[in-house]
A and B are shown apart, each in its own frame.
Chain A
Amino acid sequence: MGSNFRAPDMSEGDPTVVLPGDLILEYDPEKTQDRIFLGPGLRWQDKTITATKCGLLRKTPKKIYFVDSQQKRYVPEKRDFVLGIILKKRGDFYMIDIGASMAATISYLSFENASKKTRTELDVGDLIYGKLIVANKHMDPELVCIDSYDRAVGMGRLPDGGILFTVPLHVARLLIKPDNPFLHNISKKVTYTIVVGLNGRVWVKTAREGEMVAVMNAILLLEVMSEEEANKKVLKVLESFI
């Protein structure tokens, strides 16, 4: 951390509560070599970073700062992986609902191996897992399904036969937290494929319908329980279904 960081103690385990307008830290990219990333709930203006939401200020080891708050409505943020539903086709773009106030767009060229001749055909109602590359208040959000090397790396249209459900945003973040054993715990009982969008949409696929409902209900546990409690109870819930 540079000397210009005026933030409250931001050690890993002990997040601070911030309110909208709270000064988090001063950051001038010209003066310091430290590069940091801002996630949801923070904003950089006039060389200072302030909070725009109330919640817990969190920081990851990779210097990503964000405010962890409980909300259900998704606000698009650049670099977020989201799950969208195709709304309609408009010229060279598909309109996609990502649960935000505006529909997002995706160009038919931003899929792996797509060219003007071999375009990916998507139908209305299909599910897309993609990454936001444009997200600001003046423009429609834009998704891509390729990384900077033109590879899909798991993004694209999701196969048929899964189940889609919505969870609050903090649950989605909790699920993909690398050190959270929750998903591993589920996999002790059920073999499944899961896709978690940061917009709170979760897609699960298993071999049998019953297991899908089981996994869905297990994940919904996180909505009402703390991480530790849910980890304890997840197997019980799964067992009650299977």
Chain B
Amino acid sequence: MKETPLSTCERTALTDMVECGLRHDRRGFLEARDTTISFGREYGSCSVILGETRVLAQVTCEVVEPRASRPSEGKLSIAVHLSPMAAPHLEPGGGGGSEVDALQQVLERNIKESRCLDLESLCIRAEESVWQLRVDITVLNHDGNLCDASNMAAVAALRHFHRPDVLVEEDGRVTVLSHATSPPVPTFMRKVPVCVSYALVCPQEDKCLVLMDPTHVEERVMTGKLVAGLNPHGDITSLVFPGRVALKKEQIMKCLEHAFRRAKIIAEMVQQAVEDDLQTRATEDRPSGFRDKLVSDEEYKRQRFTHLMATKVLTLPTESTEAAVPMEEEPSAPEEQDPANETTTNVTATSTNGLVDTPDDLEESRTTAVIASVTKTCKNKKKKVKKTKDVKMESDSEEEQQQTLLTSQDLQ
């Protein structure tokens, strides 16, 4: 089934309102929707509700042969399932689709390639048998910001997961012990990777507003998106920046600063949720699972309205956009159009999916609308860029150096 076309009315209404500092659900620009993390009856099954977006992650494990290149490391695979259940326009079967691929890529970068999970602890016998963990992420309802929700679900599920203990006999036979005979072993996860998405809505050519945790409508209207994968320790594991937007360096830095603050909150929330559940699980004979914890959509909406009625909007910013605009708002346009600044201010453009813009072309055309997609991975540890709040203090030359480093990396 085809997706309902986006009418001009919806598009202009949303951009106009965002310009006035108002979102459809009266959230602040940098306010996320309510997040609920709940765990199922089994280890490693976790559901995350982010507004009306619902994601279910389930971790399973099996004993497999390790890769020849890494004989003492376990394996981790992540699979995303987007079915028409999530949104009617999605193709059944789950396979293919750019949305699935993009989501999967972000998750793999954040969780797998950031090496937050200690794969060596999953080794049973080097070169013979290792554990393979498989994270299945099923999107139950799609109301925007799938990246954040599925990342959160996957991480919480992995942290929650306990694999069965094994017994290695002298002749090399491996026996997997049931949970009843020996206590299960928790997975060891050093860091909590977090994904934070920002929608970039441009009401005018030279103005760009940043909305955190976009809903589906906002995602459809937005001009570009900034998805940052990071962890509260100050590492950026991925940065995807698709769409036709030019952002200034400072804006991106501000976004990232905010993302780090948000990452801290989410990481704590995930850790807390996992710990709480494991504690209650220890006391119960039979965990209740999702039964008592899941909230129906209707209930959620009711709560939202009750909350709305309880809190009055402080000042409805109709006249002064300045008041409504959060700190992420781009200060002014003229600087951006200044050709002298341009090469340094624009994040150097690289390839998006399919569209390839070489930096040379861009310099020639000097367009402000840059198709930019900066993807940093810390695949190569030497190139891992540490960006913390003190990054502001760094001199420009250093930053430029970093950027060139990143570009060269991207173009590889």
Q: Which residues of A contact B (CB under 8 A)?
A: 73, 85, 87, 97, 99, 101, 123-127, 158, 160-165, 203, 208-210, 212-213, 216-217, 220-221, 223-225, 233, 236-237, 239-242
Which B residues lie within 8 Å of A161 (CB)?
9, 12-13, 16
Tell whether B5 is near chain A: CB-to-CB under 8 Å. yes
At the interface with chain A, which of B20-28, B274-282, B358-366?
A: B20-28
Knowing A209-B22, A240-B308 are in contact, say whether A164-B302 is a contact too (CB < 8 A).
Answer: no
Knowing A85-B7, A213-B26 are in contact, say whether A224-B318 is a contact too (CB < 8 A).
Answer: no
Whole-angstrom distance between the Cβ of A138 and the nearest chain B Cβ: 20
A163 lies within 8 A of B13 (CB): yes
A237 lies within 8 A of B308 (CB): yes
Q: Chain A at the B interface: mostly helix, strand, loop or mixed? A: mixed
Extra inter-chain contacts (18) besides given A203-B9, A209-B17, A209-B22, CB under 8 Å: A85-B5, A87-B5, A97-B4, A125-B8, A127-B8, A160-B12, A161-B9, A163-B9, A163-B17, A164-B9, A164-B10, A209-B20, A209-B318, A210-B20, A217-B25, A224-B302, A224-B305, A233-B305
**B298 contacts which of A99, A224, A242 (Cβ < 8 Å)?**
A224
Tell whether B181 is near chain A: CB-to-CB under 8 Å. no
Which A residues lie within 8 Å of B88 (CB)?
73
Which A residues lie within 8 Å of B8 (CB)?
123, 125-127, 160
Whole-angstrom distance between the Cβ of B307 and the nearest chain A Cβ: 9
Which B residues lie within 8 Å of A208 (CB)?
318
Whole-angstrom distance between the Cβ of B143 and the nearest chain A Cβ: 12
Tell whether B6 is near chain A: CB-to-CB under 8 Å. yes
| A–B Cβ pairs within 8 angstroms, 24 of them | A85-B5, A97-B4, A123-B8, A124-B5, A125-B6, A158-B9, A163-B17, A164-B9, A164-B13, A165-B24, A209-B13, A209-B22, A210-B318, A213-B22, A213-B26, A217-B25, A217-B26, A221-B305, A224-B298, A225-B302, A233-B309, A237-B305, A240-B313, A241-B313
B316 lies within 8 A of A241 (CB): yes
B311 lies within 8 A of A240 (CB): yes
Whole-angstrom distance between the Cβ of A213 and the nearest chain B Cβ: 6
In the complex, what distance in Å separates the CA atom of A125 from the CA atom of B16? Answer: 17
Closest B-chain residue to A216, C-beta based? Answer: B24
Knowing A223-B301, A233-B305 are in contact, say whether A99-B24 is a contact too (CB < 8 A).
Answer: no
Closest A-chain residue to B298, C-beta based? Answer: A224
B9 lies within 8 A of A224 (CB): no
In the complex, what distance in Å separates the CA atom of A234 from the CA atom of B316? Answer: 19
Instruction: Return the CB mask of B9-40 against A: 1 if under 8 Å, else 0.
Output: 11111001100101011100000000000000
Knowing A210-B318, A212-B17, A241-B316 are in contact, say whether A217-B1 is a contact too (CB < 8 A).
Answer: no
Whole-angstrom distance between the Cβ of B16 and the nearest chain A Cβ: 6
Tell whether B312 is near chain A: CB-to-CB under 8 Å. yes
In the complex, what distance in Å separates the CA atom of A90 from the CA atom of B144? Answer: 33
Which A residues lie within 8 Å of B20 (CB)?
209-210
Which B residues lie within 8 Å of A85 (CB)?
4-5, 7
Whole-angstrom distance between the Cβ of B304 and the nearest chain A Cβ: 9
A213 lies within 8 A of B24 (CB): yes
Which B residues lie within 8 Å of A87 (CB)?
5
Instruction: Return the CB mask of B299-323 against A: 1 if under 8 Å, else 0.
Output: 0011001001111110010100000
Closest B-chain residue to A83, C-beta based? Answer: B7
Which A residues lie within 8 Å of B310 (CB)?
240
Which A residues lie within 8 Å of B313 (CB)?
240-241
In the complex, what distance in Å separates the CA atom of A237 from the CA atom of B311? Answer: 10
Which B residues lie within 8 Å of A160 (CB)?
8-9, 12
Whole-angstrom distance between the Cβ of B90 and the nearest chain A Cβ: 15
In the complex, what distance in Å separates the CA atom of A217 from the CA atom of B4? Answer: 21
In the complex, what distance in Å separates the CA atom of A196 from the CA atom of B39? Answer: 41
Knowing A225-B302, A242-B316 are in contact, say whether A210-B7 is a contact too (CB < 8 A).
Answer: no
In the complex, what distance in Å separates the CA atom of A54 from the CA atom of B88? Answer: 22
Which A residues lie within 8 Å of B7 (CB)?
85, 125-127, 164
Which B residues lie within 8 Å of A241 (CB)?
26, 308, 313, 316
In the complex, what distance in Å separates the CA atom of A127 from the CA atom of B7? Answer: 7
In the complex, what distance in Å separates the CA atom of A160 from the CA atom of B8? Answer: 9
Which A residues lie within 8 Å of B318 (CB)?
208-210
In the complex, what distance in Å separates the CA atom of A55 from the CA atom of B88? Answer: 23
**A97 contacts which of B5, B9, B12, B13 (Cβ < 8 Å)?**
B5
Closest B-chain residue to A235, C-beta based? Answer: B309
In the complex, what distance in Å separates the CA atom of A163 from the CA atom of B13? Answer: 6
In the complex, what distance in Å separates the CA atom of A236 from the CA atom of B8? Answer: 31
B17 lies within 8 A of A217 (CB): no
Knowing A97-B4, A99-B4, A241-B316 are in contact, say whether A217-B13 is a contact too (CB < 8 A).
Answer: no
Which A residues lie within 8 Å of B17 (CB)?
163, 209, 212-213
Q: 7 closest A-B pairs (Cβ-Cβ)? A: A125-B8, A163-B13, A85-B7, A210-B316, A236-B309, A224-B301, A164-B9
B13 lies within 8 A of A162 (CB): yes
Whole-angstrom distance between the Cβ of B7 and the nearest chain A Cβ: 4
In the complex, what distance in Å separates the CA atom of A102 from the CA atom of B312? Answer: 43
B9 lies within 8 A of A101 (CB): no
**B309 contacts which of A127, A165, A237 (Cβ < 8 Å)?**
A237
In the complex, what distance in Å separates the CA atom of A216 from the CA atom of B313? Answer: 16
In the complex, what distance in Å separates the CA atom of A233 from the CA atom of B306? Answer: 9
Closest A-chain residue to B312, C-beta based? Answer: A240
**B9 contacts which of A127, A223, A240 (Cβ < 8 Å)?**
A127
Closest B-chain residue to A125, C-beta based? Answer: B8
B298 lies within 8 A of A240 (CB): no
Which A residues lie within 8 Å of B5 (CB)?
85, 87, 97, 124-125
